[in-house]
Structure 1
Amino acid sequence: MNKNILILFSLITLSLISCNNKSKNDDPVILVTENDNEINTAINKARFAFGQFEKAFIENQETNAYSYFSIKEGFPTKDGGVEHMWVSELTYDGTNFTGVLVNDPQYDTKVQYGDTVTVDKDRISDWTYFENSSNLTYGGYTVRVFVDRMSDNEKAAFLRESGYEFAPLSE
């Protein structure tokens, strides 16, 4: 793998959030360079706003106002890169989130599809959840960058198939 291309993203959120029956291998994978400023900014914003995710997750235990909580984490690859994959079916012990890896790694990582993993907060690259009453999607910082890079036709198809309607971002 070219050392300039160190970050691999999957848009598994498409199938997670739309709740369709795509297999794990149907998820689009997007290569980006480690110096992609838009993606790096999105990752930093997602990390900065992660408290919003934690708060919603905790409140949801009582209110059931939200669904489809997912965290994207960067997992190191053996060749020195990073593969960003989604973790879902989350639990929270007050300190750590644990969940199931819902992507099939494209490169050699220490994790595989279906593995239970504890999220490393220092490697979080994105997060999402849905508000049940409005179907708004919260988070999705990197997803928004990829959607913005799509052609108008691709964007329309993505939004239609995924059911995404993005809530305003917390800055």
Structure 2
Amino acid sequence: MENNSFIFADGTDPKMIEAYKKAQETFKYFWREQSWEYRRIVPGLNLSCVKAAFSQEDPETGENTVEHMWINDIDFDGDHVKGYLINEPNTLTNIQPGDYFEIPLNEISDWLFAITPPAPTPKGLSKLFSSSSDPIPKAYGGFTIQKMRSDMSDSERQEHDEAWGLDFGDYNEIEVVHEQKEKPENLVEHPMSRNMKEDFVNFLKEYPNELTNVDENGLTLLHRETIAGNLSSVEVILEAGADRNLQTNHGKTPLDLAKQLQWEHLIPVLEN
């Protein structure tokens, strides 16, 4: 992406503020996809990043300058989105690309990931005339981007999308999970969670200590799989005897996190 692809949004626009809210409410789907991306041997995402507001106060006037910019290499503990700035600020001088930030979830302004769809297999005569160009990666999320696209003319949208090199689709139908229309069940659970269930059972049999290991945030495996919304994984972990009452450094059980992130399909399993 070129630097001019990063448009700094007007935070006073009601529709833009609504886009921020939608991004915060659906961030869990970004994190679910990102958490599986970290486990893939072959990367599946062309792009994944989160947008947040950064500010600097002018010492002379006291006025705040705000820029919305993107971070990547994302981590998430259920409360804070963590990553490294990838934009060169336009006017801010107190931060620079590569700086690390931990941002409360309710303060992010957008998220975006992109996946290249499989190329269709040519059949019959179409084999002779098929294009050799690769499919364009499809964008998911990007609520502020879609709001801005809605304000553009057709030619402006085309130019914008070409600058990003992404297929943003219809700005009135923002998708948050891969193949959302074709497979609506993906909204409930990531297909890798379902498909990897047997392998995960065998993994825990081989490495039972994974059930009790705790990271620097106080997160157990059960906490992490709950944050990612992985029902099959949560069921396997509980069946293996994990303690569902362990708390993070912020005093939260897996059930607390399921409720906080509104993973409704996990709540009954964790309450039992």
Q: Which TM-score band applies after superposition, normalised by the shorter structure?
A: 0.7 to 0.9
Q: Alignment partner for residue 169 of structure 1, among 175, 178, 189?
A: 175
**1:75/1:35 Cα in 2 relative to 1: closer, same or farther (>3 Å)?**
same
1:1-171 equivalence runs, <5 A: 15=1, 22=2, 24=3, 26-27=4-5, 29-30=7-8, 32=10, 34-63=11-40, 64-78=43-57, 79-88=63-72, 90-92=73-75, 94-95=77-78, 96-108=80-92, 110-133=94-117, 135-166=137-168, 168-170=174-176
Question: Are the equivalent residues in 2 in contact too, given 1:76–1:109 (CA < 8 A)?
Answer: no
**Counterpart residue type for residue 175 of structure 2:** L
How far apart are 1:45 and its partner, in Å?
0.3
Question: Are the equivalent residues in 1 in contact too, given 2:51–2:108 (CA < 8 A)?
Answer: yes
How far apart are 1:141 and its partner, in Å?
0.3
Tell me which protein shows more strand as a share of its residues.
1
- Aligned partners of 2:76, 2:162: CA distance in 1, in Å? 35
Bigger RCO (CA 8 Å, 6+ sep): 1
How far apart are 1:123 and its partner, in Å?
1.7
**Counterpart residue type for residue 76 of structure 1:** S
How far apart are 1:81 and its partner, in Å?
4.4
TM-score (norm 2): 0.48
Question: Are the equivalent residues in 2 in contact too, given 1:101–1:114 (CA < 8 A)?
Answer: yes
**Aligned-CA RMSD value:** 2.5
TM-score (norm 1): 0.72
How far apart are 1:91 and its partner, in Å?
4.1
How far apart are 1:160 and its partner, in Å?
2.7
Is the deviation greater in 45-54 or in 79-88? 79-88
Question: Are the equivalent residues in 2 in contact too, given 1:65–1:133 (CA < 8 A)?
Answer: no
- Aligned partners of 2:9, 2:34: CA distance in 1, in Å? 30
> Alignment length, in residue pairs?
147
| Partner SS for 1:62 | coil
| Partner SS for 2:16 | helix
**1:82/1:94 Cα in 2 relative to 1: closer, same or farther (>3 Å)?**
same
Question: Are the equivalent residues in 1 in contact too, given 2:9–2:144 (CA < 8 A)?
Answer: no
**1:29/1:92 Cα in 2 relative to 1: closer, same or farther (>3 Å)?**
closer
Q: Gaps spanning 5+ residues in structure 1: where?
A: 1-14, 16-21
**Counterpart residue type for residue 57 of structure 1:** Q
- Aligned partners of 1:41, 1:31: CA distance in 2, in Å? 12
Question: Are the equivalent residues in 2 in contact too, given 1:75–1:109 (CA < 8 A)?
Answer: no
Question: Which structure has the larger Rg?
Answer: 2
Question: Are the equivalent residues in 1 in contact too, given 2:8–2:68 (CA < 8 A)?
Answer: no
Aligned-pair identity in percent equals 24
How far apart are 1:147 and its partner, in Å?
1.2
| Partner SS for 1:77 | strand
